[in-house]
Amino acid sequence: MKIIMLGGPGAGKGTQAKKIASEYQIPHISTGDIFRANIKGGTALGKKAKEYMDQGLLVPDELVVDLVVDRIGQEDAKNGYVLDGFPRTIPQAQALDKALAAINETIDYAIDVEVPDQVIINRMAGRRACIGCGGTYHVEYNPPKEEDKCDLCGSDLILRDDDKPETVKTRLDVYHEQTQPLIDYYTNQKLLVEVDGTQEVAEVFEAIRKILG
């Protein structure tokens, strides 16, 4: 089962991708996690990716495609995978299709988690990240026990630059311009299915389970 997750930044597609991976025993492959690991490690790729991410811009295709294609070729992905954060553009989607065609495989579903922009902006503005251990919280949905302090290590919690409303708006603008065409792309391939991402997490997942069977 080969699945692509679509949806704006903060739509909750990463959360759903992890739940799908756990339920169906397939790897959750997130380009975001790959980038964050490189950024934390201070690699050349990480530094380059961070320049784009801090501005709310997408990381260029050439930094992404080979990495993802290599990842889906690994042993744990032989029965399928959930791609989260890739493809983001038509050229990436075409590159993925070409790579899969070379091994006689295709994507099975492109799941679009639909959430209005203003809801996303409000969600992300409430996120807080620990400067010590990297733990994440939300002032409304997952607040720390002590305001602005991490439950795990006691370090300060901050609003990351890429979660600030002005940056989120930029990210959404970029998403609509560059990623929204993927909706049409996968609709034309009869692979797209949509779920209402404004529901509770469990309700969104139940909708996805019904689609996947």
Per-residue confidence (pLDDT) for residue 179, from 0 to 100: 82
Q: Give the pLDDT confidence of 166-202 residue by residue, as tens digits.
A: 999 999 998 898 888 999 999 999 999 999 999 999 9
Please indicate whether residue 97 or residue 61 has the higher confidence score (pLDDT).
97
Please say if 13 is a catalytic residue: yes
Which of the four pLDDT bands, split at 50, 70 and 90, describes residue 65? confident
**Selected catalytic residue, list 71, 88, 123, 128:** 88
Going from N- to C-terminal start, the domains of the chain cover: 2-115+179-212
What is the model's pLDDT at position 38?
A: 79
pLDDT digits (tens, 9 = 90+) for 102-132: 889 999 999 999 999 999 998 889 999 999 9
In this structure, the dihedral spanned by the alpha carbons of residues 19, 81, 59 and 128, taken in order and rounded to 10 degrees, is: 10
**pLDDT at residue 33 is higher than 80:** no
Q: How many CB atoms lie within 10 A of CB 205?
A: 19
Choice among 19, 71, 123, 127 that is catalytic:
127
Please answer whether residues 153 and 135 qualify as being in contact, where contact means their C-beta atoms are separated by less than 8 angstroms.
yes
> Which 8-state DSSP code applies to residue 177?
I
Say whether 171 is catalytic: yes
Yes or no: say if 36 and 212 are a contact pair by the CB < 8 Å rule. Answer: no
Fold (topology level) of 2-115+179-212: Rossmann fold (3.40.50)
Is 127 noted as a catalytic residue in this protein? Answer: yes
The catalytically annotated residue of 13, 19, 71, 123 is 13
In the chain, the largest separation of any two C-alpha atoms, in whole Å, equals 53
